[in-house]
Structure 1
Amino acid sequence: MGKRFKFQNLEKIPDLTLVSIVKRKRDFEIIKKEKWYRIPVKNAPKEIAQIKYLAFYFPKIFGKRKWQILYYGKVKNIEVRKRIDLLPKEKDNPNALEDYYKITIKNLIRLKNPVVSKKGRRIIFIITTLEKLLNSKEINDLFITSPIEEKLYSELKKNNIPCERQYFVKEGNDFYSLDFAIFGKKGKIAIECDGEKYHLTKKAVFYDRERDNRLTSSGWWVLRFYSKDIKKSPERCVKLIKKTIKRIS
């Protein structure tokens, strides 16, 4: 895959939604009582100015409620404040003087159907839509990706093949985002969906080869499918994926 969301004009999505991790229980108490949450400016997604809804992902610290999205709210206001102004009792925090987005919501709404992470991923941010949030069963349903990725994801679900989308892997000092990751008892598979326009350029071919080599040396099976393969013969792609799954099961 090329640059993140390169193929999407997110500014035109009317119900653009940000899913953000809630790292501490006391932060959720602020969300419930004061209806605002903070995100470091230096780490925030570039689409933050366009978001209309904010949803909250609970990590392991939330016990029985971990690894799921249970609540969201409509954004009322976004402003930049110093952390120390938002949390004056934490003046000794090393980030006290850093800039943070203070995102105020109009209300806190509980989802009728929680969106869960079956693998228990530590997800920091996901850009999605309100429609996806309200209709998704699991985290992997939320991602806004290219048409060919959506097509392959649909085929994987149709064939009951569990996978993780937009899965980050660290190799040395580099992070790679895998379009799809599949895990087995004896190994793991990285699946990439490549658009010919970008991935057949000289620069992209060199980058993809280096990346594939590093992933392979770390135990990944790497499968690449061009858009024409997914569009014309999705069943052949799935057949090859199933064959590889047998090798790692």
Structure 2
Amino acid sequence: MRDPGDWRILQQNGWYRIPVSSVNKWLKNKWPPQWIAFYHTRVFGPDKYTIQYYAKVKRIRETTRGKLFPREPENQKTSLRYYKISVEELQKLPRPIVSRRMRRIIFIPTTYERFNLAEEINDLYEGNSLEELIWRELKKHGIPAEREELIRGKSGNYFLDFAIYCHTGKLDVETDGDAWHSTKKRIASDDIRDNELETLGWRVLRFNSKQILDSMEDYCLPAITMNIKKLGGVKE
């Protein structure tokens, strides 16, 4: 939620809008939602970088901006297509779901169970089994990491599995499922990605499924903590 005007519409009229192009780009097979929650950005002052409100979706229909805002003078955006999401009454969480860092968030598809259990934004992300193992271990050992951190590079956008910000550098921890990352094409793609991230100041650690499943305590965690130490410790 970036616009207080959109927030007023949601509170007073019970609907929210998402561009059809954004759904096609970011949500793909995660659409349509049964519930929707709202992340407040910095324009919301004391409520910034938190999720405090959510609602059950009543209906979704595709329409144009011109029909959503009939009093708005016609302009180049008038014909843009949106999903109008009508919701039931807004509900407030007993405690906010907070973001530790001032990060930009686009969409986070999640489950109702995860949403109810989440203490912070990163708890909402639903990764594969290897990512979930790493996440549980990082939390258990008090290592703050950002999941699915969006980094923009020359060759495209990259979503990091786990971004750890340190005093003298940045650490990217990646989980490589053997079937996904073992092809020549994928290896070449990973090399390009890693080279670009390193150019942007990231140190990349990759762990395969065997290392994560068999050597988490003996290899993966020591490698992560050693690199954090070399980078001056975690930057809170």
* TM-score bracket relative to the smaller structure: over 0.9
CA shift, 1:190, in A, is: 0.8
Aligned mates of 1:49, 1:218 — CA distance in 2 = 33
Partner SS state of residue 228, structure 1: helix
2:148 is equivalent to residue 169 of structure 1: no
Aligned mates of 1:34, 1:172 — CA distance in 2 = 41
Higher relative contact order (CA 8 A, sep 6+): 1
CA shift, 1:217, in A, is: 1.8
Other-structure match for 1:23 = 2
2:230 is equivalent to residue 247 of structure 1: yes
The one of 14, 34, 42 aligned to 2:21 = 42
CA shift, 1:26, in A, is: 1.2
| Cα deviation code 1:129-162 (max 9, x no counterpart) | 1111111010000001101100000000011000
CA shift, 1:93, in A, is: 5.2
Aligned mates of 1:93, 1:244 — CA distance in 2 = 52
* Paired residue type of 2:167: K
Other-structure match for 2:178 = 196
Contact 2:18 2:84 in 1 (8 A): yes
Other-structure match for 2:133 = 151
Contact 1:113 1:134 in 2 (8 A): no
Structure 1: any 5+ residue segments left out of the alignment? 1-21
Identity of aligned residues (%): 42
Contact 1:37 1:104 in 2 (8 A): yes
Partner SS state of residue 95, structure 1: coil
* Paired residue type of 2:223: L
Other-structure match for 2:40 = 58
Change (3 A) 1:229 1:93: farther
* Paired residue type of 1:25: P
Partner SS state of residue 109, structure 2: strand
* Paired residue type of 1:223: L
Structure 2 length as normaliser, TM-score?
Answer: 0.93
**After TM superposition, what 4+ stretches of structure 1 lie above 6 angstroms from structure 2?**
none
Partner SS state of residue 125, structure 1: coil
Segment of structure 1 superposing worse, 167-176 or 28-37: 167-176
| Cα deviation code 1:152-181 (max 9, x no counterpart) | 000000110000000111111511111010
